[in-house]
Chain A
Amino acid sequence: MSSSKKSRIVKFKTSDDKTFEVEEAVAVQFETIKSMIDYVCANDCTIPLPNVNAKTLAMVVEWCKKHADERDQLMEVDVDEAPGAVLYDLLVAATYLRVEDLIHRVSQRVSKMVIEIGKLPEEEDVRKTINIKSDFPPQVEEELRKLRRTLGPLSDVLVLFVSSGLLE
């Protein structure tokens, strides 16, 4: 291992069992492991990342390599065109490693998708798309359906539910 601080390498092991060598300049941007870099390098340890796969880590590293002012340009392509599943992995990785700028960027991108989902006419379609099952009592579900048919947008009827105690 080199004694020069600049060329130190931090080793990671991803969830799919691949070993990654990351330059220190990049690794310090991972807030979660920043404080353990000295120890890890001195003892030649490998940091396990149980919920980040190799493909995702490569994207995170790529993001961190670019200077802050170039990031938006780079990620405009990578993040904006990535499908939901990739974004999900990226968001989990970014939060686990605590790369704040990346969290910001990805969550904003995901929110744009979520806004579109929110425009679906049926509640059930919304739930299917985000893979959530309704846990409202059946009578609430039935009321929601009925009221929406007669009153239009659901947001207006929610007040009724709260006051009727159905959601408690």
Chain B
Amino acid sequence: MMMMANELPEDLVTLILLWLPVVSLLRFKCVCKSWYALITHQNFVRKHLLHNKNSNTHLLLHTFNKAMDDYVVYMISYEELQISLTQPLPPPFFGNGDTFCISVVGSCNGLVCLHEKRLHNTVKVVVWNPTTKETKVVPKSNLPLFAPAEYCTHIQSMGFGFDAKTNDYKIINFVSMYEPIWDYFSEDINEKICQKEVYSLSTDSWKKVDGPQCFIFEEVPMTYITGMGSWLAYVDYVSQRDLFVLSFDISDEVFLKTPLPDNVIGQDLLVLNESNAVVAPRTVDEEWPEVCYDIWLLLKVGVKDSWTRLFTIEQSFAKIHRPLGFWKNDTMLFSNVDEGQLVLYDPSTKQMTNLQSHGDCESMQLVTYMETLVSVEGGNEFEDQDNC
């Protein structure tokens, strides 16, 4: 076939290359200088991302694999729910084994943010593009430097997302500082200083942001929905605990609180139909220890009245360890206790399907993921304003 690519105007080359998967584009970077320049250009990267947004959704399952004695990620095709690829974590982590605890902070436009902890101390934060295999180690936060003398600092929770206004990726840290004489587990807000800071990938630096004094449930990962990160948070008072969803607008860097519905004890926060959903256990019968799970959907962030109870999952399957996410038609993905397997549950038919991934239920995390060329070196400035 004679394509005469050297005679093809660049905009036509762009048109054709936009359809290609990332692996092919990585290959074509090696063809010649002009193709290299085109494929690595920020505008092409962005166009390619938008062009493939609806046809390129995967689920990324992060878990500890006992056979491999290390953390792995499984790429799962969204449509068929089949594992298309299993890969170890990138070099900064590889081979660390079970000494450390590594979790996924978030996944956005093909970048995955990973957080490595030892006990309660943050060891490393890395931004990773699993498809291009690029990684970047995020510099350490400088908030601890400003903590009162002798105070301990601890990153309670983190977030990761995209700021469409400045074409930048940001990480949010929820830091708590406390005097060592207080128990780490103390939940009296007056004994701790809670601070927040934001890291920008393009400036490669941290800055402090103001926000409400509260605690984040450390074991509940953030949700990310178009420019907004959310966490399950609480403040304890003498007689009661206030539970709410704390949301952060990644572009405007402002926080929003949405109280949970009255008497609802949220256990997990997940994304359902592009909205936040809370999974809340409820006792069915006071004489019987069985619980069921209510799924509450938050239609509008910041509006308590917009919570809607969607459906209830009965506790007919005791082996479910933890809900991990929703799939099509309100079906849910769980981790199960026995094998550390990923299980699909359909509430309408009460059917369960085992998806044959081998992991460990404690460490399992599920995020949506798409293959992109987005660089871990951060979004450059826009060179032009076209938004196509």
Decide if B4 touches A88 in the complex (CB within 8 Å).
yes
Residues of chain B within 8 A (CB-CB) of A112 are: 19
B24 lies within 8 A of A118 (CB): yes
Q: Given that A92-B12, A110-B16, A131-B2 are known contacts, is A155 also in contact with B132, CB under 8 Å in the complex?
A: yes
- Chain B residues within 8 Å of A83, by CB: 1
Using an 8 Å CB-CB cutoff, how does the interface string of B114-128 with A read, 1 for contact, 0 for none?
000000000000000
Interface of A is mostly: helix
> Would A155 and B16 count as touching, CB distance under 8 A?
no
Q: List 30 A-B contacts (CB under 8 A).
A: A84-B2, A85-B2, A88-B2, A88-B4, A88-B8, A91-B15, A92-B12, A95-B11, A95-B12, A95-B15, A103-B15, A107-B16, A114-B28, A115-B24, A118-B24, A127-B31, A129-B3, A130-B31, A131-B3, A131-B5, A132-B31, A132-B35, A133-B32, A134-B32, A135-B32, A135-B33, A155-B27, A155-B132, A155-B133, A158-B26
Given contacts A111-B18, A134-B32, A153-B26, 12 further A-B contacts (CB under 8 A): A85-B2, A103-B15, A107-B18, A107-B19, A111-B20, A115-B24, A118-B24, A131-B5, A132-B6, A135-B32, A154-B27, A158-B26
Q: Which secondary structure characterizes the binding site on chain B?
A: loop
Complexed CA–CA distance, A144 and B133 (Å): 18
- CB contact between A131 and one of B6, B21, B30 (< 8 Å): that residue: B6
B36, CB-defined interface residue at 8 Å = yes
Instruction: Evaluate contact between B16 and A154: CB separation under 8 angstroms.
Output: no
B3 near A130 with CB under 8 A, answer yes
Interface size class of B (residues with CB under 8 A): 20 to 34
> With the chains together, A88 CA to B4 CA distance in Å?
8
B36 CB to nearest chain A CB (Å)? 6
- Tell me, yes or no, whether B134 is within 8 Å of chain A by CB: yes
Q: Which residues of A contact B6 (CB under 8 A)?
A: 131-133
The complex places the Cα of A129 from the Cα of B28 at a distance, in Å, of 12
- The CA of A129 and the CA of B30, in the complex, are separated in Å by 14
Tell yes or no: A126 within 8 A of B by CB.
yes
Contacts of B29 in A (CB 8 A): 155, 158
User: Which residues does B use to contact A, with CB under 8 Å?
Assistant: 1-6, 8-9, 11-12, 15-21, 23-24, 26-36, 132-134
Chain A count of residues within 8 A CB distance of the other chain = 36
CB within 8 Å of B: which of A76-120? Answer: 83-85, 88, 91-92, 95, 103, 107-108, 110-115, 118
With contacts A83-B1, A114-B20 taken as known, whether A136 is within 8 angstroms of B32 at the C-beta atoms is yes
Contact assessment for B134 and A129 in the assembled complex, using a CB-CB cutoff below 8 Å: no
Residues in B with CB closer than 8 Å to A136 are: 32-33
